[in-house]
Amino acid sequence: MIASLQVDTRFQLVKVGNIRGETLGDWKNRVWTRLEAVLGHEKKRGGALESIRRMAILTGLVLGVSACKPSGPANDTDTGHIERPKVTQDSGGRVDTATASARTEEAFASEKHFGSLPYKKLPLRYKPKAAPKKPSVLLVVLDAINVKHMSAFGYHRNTTPNLQKLANEGIVFANHISNSSWTRPSFTTILTGLTKKQHGVELRKRDIESEIITVAEHFRMAKYRTAGFTGNPLTRGVWGFEQGYQTYEDTFTMDRAFPPDKWLTERAQDWLATVGDNPFFLKIFFTSTHAPYRPVYSARHFVNQVKEGEVVEYPFREYKEPWDPALQRKTIAAYDDEVRYFDRQLGELRATLKKIGAADKTAIVVTGDHGEMFGQHGCYTHAYHMWEDALRVPMVMYLPWSETDGRMTHELTTHVDILPTLLDLAAIPNSKADQMTGKSMLQTIGDDKVANRTHFSQYNAHGIQRQSVRKGRYKLIHVDRIYEDALERVNQLHEDLPHADPHDLPSLARSLKGEYYEFYDLIDDPSEMKDLSKQMKNKPIYKDLLRALSPEKEETENDNQMSPEMLEALRNAGYIQ
């Protein structure tokens, strides 16, 4: 029994009797019950229990006698832990709103994804203290970030100590969802506050229209200094991503796709040294966590500790068979080093703000454009995946004047909410608010209308189209039918990327036969392993989500509709050959 207590610290789960998505507290209760049955009178003498406690310490999990005992009902008066809602349904599948609101469901689904996080609850109807006149704003976006690999969100490796410090003094939005699983549509939504259907930017449409007012343009019209630095080749200024910035540097001006994050930090520091006492809006798009997983030499910490295996720098989108465990461990270690390298830049930026006297009047917002996958459902990277790890991203907000001391909310927020929030921070009127579905995250905490929104994410590129729509605990995924020409494009990849027979890739092979839907309960099934579409297709909640999804479907976009500049950028990013 003792030898079987092997802990997978990445998911905070026990291998024996593993229940994926189980929180640490639930696990301890279950283990204690099993120990009592197995050890019997030996437990009373304390010797066996002490051996188990020491075993747990050696595996990185300290239980202790008091911690290991069943903890009883959760007390969420001042912690981030959410007590499981007592959800009941009628015969039609309708949730009883008297016992479980959409807000409570979203909160519990978030906790099931991450486990308990070390932050206090943010009160409903929270309003921050008034900001100083014309505060500066720093927006930090991280590419392809699996939020489970951030220690600020409970990861066992200390990958994000600087983000942790920021979170300990700010607000953590633990349930933030990207509107897409790849960069162009998601990053455009961050900059414009518009849905993909509104701004249209993906492949066929390459430019942000000049009539659209970006977040940088809002700040510039308010007499702010503005600058943007981006390491992703798909967000070059030539396509309108420079709109509103007085200074904009991208992979064309730096002559390198996915440059080291330090390059962006140094350019931002040089620019900050010139702003003087002027209020500023600064956006930085870091890309270290995007494939290839090839940390710079000075950042190779975790990967050097893993002695066996090799790093798969360019994983394919999905695999029919599981990876060798040694390859998995080594690749994840390299990715974790990339996360840690980004976090170092965040610390450097905060030090610079302090040096120039701007720390006390600069709001800092940290998020990701989309997620990244490491073997869940046999999938890697991001691309066309609609799973949680490809869509959940960090959202941490630091307001030096608000004294929030590490508060957390489980309100479901998305990228359409970022632009309204940034303008709200600076008290800048949003002249286009009537065109946006997003709301300021600081003004809607506890708002029932916002809590009951449906949230849409999508992918539409290279002949592959997928969408997901979610509300409360439920999520509906639609996978459109693909054709042979789309399969051929999957292998038109950069020469350094692995090739595979697309017919051997499960989701692509399935969608070749026709479109299909999947339906998940994110509370009972946070890892999305049990498709309930057959059982739920006639229930009202399924039909509600299907109605919400239908208007968002688009004509499938193909590569032959792309411009030469876009093709070049995709090659530089390693997406095509």
> Per-residue pLDDT tens for 223-266?
999 999 999 988 888 889 999 999 999 988 888 888 999 999 99
Tokens 């950069």 correspond to: 494
27-70 residue pLDDT tens: 444 444 444 444 443 333 444 444 444 343 333 333 333 333 33
Q: What is the dihedral of CA 498, 500, 504, 506, to 10 degrees?
A: 40
**Does residue 535 surpass a pLDDT of 60?**
yes
The SS3 call for residue 482 is: coil
pTM: 0.81
Residue 473 has which token pair?
């605990």
- The confidence score (pLDDT) of residue 528 equals 97
90-131 residue pLDDT tens: 444 444 443 345 667 777 777 777 777 889 888 877 878 888
Closest CA to 380 of 181, 198, 130: 181
Secondary structure (DSSP) of 32-93? HHHHHHHHTHHHHHSHHHHHHHHHHHHTT----HHHHS---S---SSSS--PPP---B-TT-
Rounded alpha-carbon distances, angstroms, from residue 444 to 124, 277, 366, 386: 9, 32, 19, 26
**Does residue 385 surpass a pLDDT of 90?**
yes
Secondary structure (DSSP) of 226-293? EEEEE--GGG-GGGTTTTT-SEEE-HHHHT-SS--HHHHHHHHHHHHTT-TTS-EEEEEEE-TTSSS-
- The confidence score (pLDDT) of residue 228 equals 97
492-530 residue pLDDT tens: 655 555 566 777 788 988 999 999 999 999 999 999 999
The SS3 call for residue 517 is: strand
More confident residue, 32 or 411: 411
Is residue 159 within a helix (H) or strand (E), and if so which, with residue range? none
Secondary structure E strands in 66-191: 120-121, 136-142, 171-173, 176-177
Q: What is the mean pLDDT of the chain?
A: 81
- The confidence score (pLDDT) of residue 574 equals 52
Q: What are phi and psi of 532, to 5 degrees?
A: -105, 15
- The confidence score (pLDDT) of residue 510 equals 92
* CB 428, CB 420: distance < 8 Å: no
281-315 residue pLDDT tens: 999 999 999 999 999 999 999 999 999 999 999 89
Phi-psi region of 206 (alpha: psi -120 to 50; beta: other; left: phi over 0): alpha
Residue 174 has which token pair?
């633990």
The SS3 call for residue 483 is: coil
- The confidence score (pLDDT) of residue 550 equals 80
255-271 residue pLDDT tens: 888 899 999 999 999 99
Closest CA to 105 of 387, 391, 396, 411: 411
- The confidence score (pLDDT) of residue 449 equals 72
- The confidence score (pLDDT) of residue 446 equals 73
- The confidence score (pLDDT) of residue 402 equals 87
- Looking at residue 301, its amino acid is H
- Stretch 413-434: mean pLDDT: 94
480-495 residue pLDDT tens: 999 888 877 766 655 5
- The confidence score (pLDDT) of residue 203 equals 78
Report d(CA 377, CA 528) in Å as an integer: 9
- Stretch 199-219: mean pLDDT: 91
- The confidence score (pLDDT) of residue 577 equals 47
Q: Could you tell me how many residues make up the chain?
A: 577
* CB 243, CB 299: distance < 8 Å: no
- The confidence score (pLDDT) of residue 294 equals 96
117-175 residue pLDDT tens: 889 888 877 878 888 899 999 999 999 999 999 999 999 999 999 999 999 999 999 99
**Boundaries of every domain in the chain:** 1-71, 159-437, 456-572
Rounded alpha-carbon distances, angstroms, from residue 135 to 132, 224, 314, 347, 424: 6, 10, 41, 20, 11
* CB 264, CB 284: distance < 8 Å: yes
- The confidence score (pLDDT) of residue 488 equals 74
Give the strand pairing for 120-121 and 392-393.
unpaired
Preceding omega of 292 cis (within 30 degrees of 0): yes
**Does residue 81 surpass a pLDDT of 60?**
no
- The confidence score (pLDDT) of residue 554 equals 64
* CB 383, CB 373: distance < 8 Å: no
- The confidence score (pLDDT) of residue 20 equals 42
Report d(CA 143, CA 573) in Å as an integer: 12
**Does residue 275 surpass a pLDDT of 80?**
yes
Q: What are phi and psi of 141, to 5 degrees?
A: -115, 135
At the topology level, CATH places domain 159-437 in Alkaline Phosphatase, subunit A (3.40.720)
338-366 residue pLDDT tens: 999 999 999 999 999 999 999 999 999 99
What are the start-end ranges of the H helices in 312-391? 325-355, 388-391
